[in-house]
Amino acid sequence: MVCVNMNVVDLPLSATLEINEKSNLMIAQGKKVYKLGLGQSPFPVPTPVVEALKKYAHIKDYLPVKGLYELREAIKKYYQKSQGIEFEVENILIGPGSKELMFIAQLVMYSELLLPAPSWVSYAPQAKILGRRVSWLETKKEDDWLLRGNVLEHYCKNNPNTSKVMILNYPNNPTGKTYSEEQLKEIARVAQKYGVIIISDEIYGELHHEGKHISIAKFYPEGTIISSGLSKWCGAGGWRLGTFAIPRELSWLADKMASVASETFTSVSAPIQYASIRAFEFDDEIMDYLNRSRRILKALASYIYENFKRVGIETPLADGAFYYLPDFSNLKDKLSKRGIYTSRQLCNAILDEKSVAFLPGDDFGRPPNELTARIAYVDFDGEVALEAAKKEDVNEGFLRKYCTNTIEAIDRICDWVSTL
């Protein structure tokens, strides 16, 4: 008789994947659904990167466990140029998505996991699978749901007997907010003081709406691992290519992670690794693609912010990525009259009544009775929108023409709120 590992007995399907599958099932049943649940980039993989994949499609050999040397070298140069940070090629790892690399890192580092609440849905379940302790760090709405250095300091000072790893994600999923340079310096100072290792999840870094992303590794280089990949800024989620850049002081981690990788995924697909070199060149063609992507996402962020504000839904203006964590607390009395007391009930009601699918805040570490929800504003044809952005101004007319589903979904949410 085979017994089930108790760490996974009550582990559900990832919330973002579950809502996507539920939405697809409803669509298959002939229903119109606005899919604001799964945070998948709407934009196509840049043409030169696709052409590179075609060029290298014939390569069938296994590559080094840590990844193709030329690709790791390109990533090293990218961080030198974009952030002024130095990494050694041997301490850069390529994995089948950054999610897998995070899991292996937690496996290798026997540490307590610290997470600002809210955080992405898979961080905590990974720790649970491994039997690690997860501690949530408080954030406040008035701080735009961002972690403050004094909160980290208070926790570390009062819990001194465990080694700690903290995952810091920004621009943030689920809020779309990012940290200022001063905020990063303060968090880095505290982490350095208490020896907290930071996994800085910067998968949305290049989707900062102004192109001004700053890595916390600049201020705590010896203790920060930068996690990234191609899924968000390069539109290549299905390619499953993630990256870890590990400082020299933690080179043992790169080696041990490679040992685990050698016994699990072996190496990432060879053609995809070769093609990804082109993505990390960040030449004029790639930058033009990125700038158009940012303009569209920034305009959508502004539209959503203004319209939510108009009907009493609170949310700070997003700085990057393609998410919001709207707070419906101002409408608590009206919602309670409808029998809605939790974020999950809120999301179910809007899905049932307005066919708009998004996720409750408690999937991201917020209290169930807090009326927050995560919206991914990416239900549109990104290829068409990107092409149009070459010639047209990205204004409300543009959004209604090329980002129709997303705009209609936001309008439907606002209409639903207005009739409470």
**Per-residue H/E/C for 118-151:** CCCCCHHHHHHHCCCCEEEECCCHHHCCCCCHHH
Tens-place pLDDT, residues 154-190: 999 999 999 999 999 999 999 999 999 999 999 999 9
Q: What percent of the chain has pLDDT over 70?
A: 96
In the prediction, which pLDDT does 25 show? 80
C-alpha distances in angstroms, 298 versus 31, 75, 130, 399?
Answer: 30, 26, 38, 11
**Where along the chain do the CATH 3.90.1150.10 domains lie?**
15-42+285-418
Going by pLDDT thresholds of 50, 70 and 90, the confidence category of residue 378 is very high
* Residue 286: HSE in the Cβ half-sphere, 13 Å Cα cutoff: 20
Statement: residue 4 has pLDDT above 70: no
Judge whether residue 44 has pLDDT over 80: yes
* 13 has pLDDT over 80: no
pLDDT number for residue 30:
82
> Does position 41 have pLDDT exceeding 90, yes or no?
yes
Percent of the chain with pLDDT over 90: 91
**Cβ atoms of 149 and 183 closer than 8 Å:** yes
Residues 229-239: tens digit of each pLDDT:
999 999 999 99
The pairing of beta strand 197-201 with beta strand 224-229: parallel
Environment class of 116 (CB within 10 Å of its CB; exposed 0-12, middle 13-18, buried 19+): buried
Per residue in 299-329, pLDDT (tens digit) is: 999 999 999 999 999 999 999 999 999 999 9
Query: What pLDDT, on the 0 to 100 scale, is given for residue 9?
Result: 56
Position 7 scores a pLDDT of 72
The pLDDT value recorded for residue 340 is 96
Contact between 236 and 50 (Cβ < 8 Å): no
The per-residue pLDDT for 11 is 58
**Whether residue 248 has pLDDT greater than 70:** yes
pLDDT (0 to 100) of residue 14: 60
The predicted structure's pLDDT at residue 131: 94
Which CATH code is given to the segment(s) 47-280? 3.40.640.10
Q: What is the mean pLDDT of residues 13-28?
A: 72
Residue 394 has pLDDT above 70, yes or no: yes
Dihedral over alpha carbons 344, 346, 349, 350 (to 10 degrees)? -110
Instruction: Please list the residues that pair with 201 across neighbouring strands.
Output: 169, 227
Cα dist from 90 to 72, 74, 120, 225, whole Å? 8, 13, 29, 14
Cis check: omega of the bond before 368, within 30 degrees of 0: no
Helix (H, G, I), strand (E, B) or coil at 221: helix
DSSP state of 365: T
Output the furthest CA–CA distance in the chain (Å, rounded): 64
Give the Å distances, CA to CA, from 281 to 74, 92, 287, 302.
7, 16, 10, 30
Q: What are the residue ranges of CATH 3.40.640.10 in the chain?
A: 47-280
- CB distance 377 to 410 below 8 Å: yes
149, 189 contact by CB (below 8 A): yes
Please determine, for residue 118, whether its predicted confidence score (pLDDT) is greater than 80. Answer: yes
The highest-level CATH class for domain 15-42+285-418 is alpha beta
The average pLDDT across 13-35 equals: 76
Phi-psi region of 211 (alpha: psi -120 to 50; beta: other; left: phi over 0): left
Is the per-residue pLDDT at 117 higher than 90? yes
Q: How far is 281 from 290, CA to CA, in rounded Å? A: 13
pLDDT given for residue 26 in this prediction: 75
Per-residue pLDDT, averaged over 12-36, amounts to: 77
This prediction has a pTM of 0.95
pLDDT at 6 over 80: no
Tokens 């439907």 found at:
412
The Cα 365–Cα 115 span in angstroms is 9
CB 19 within 8 A of CB 38: yes
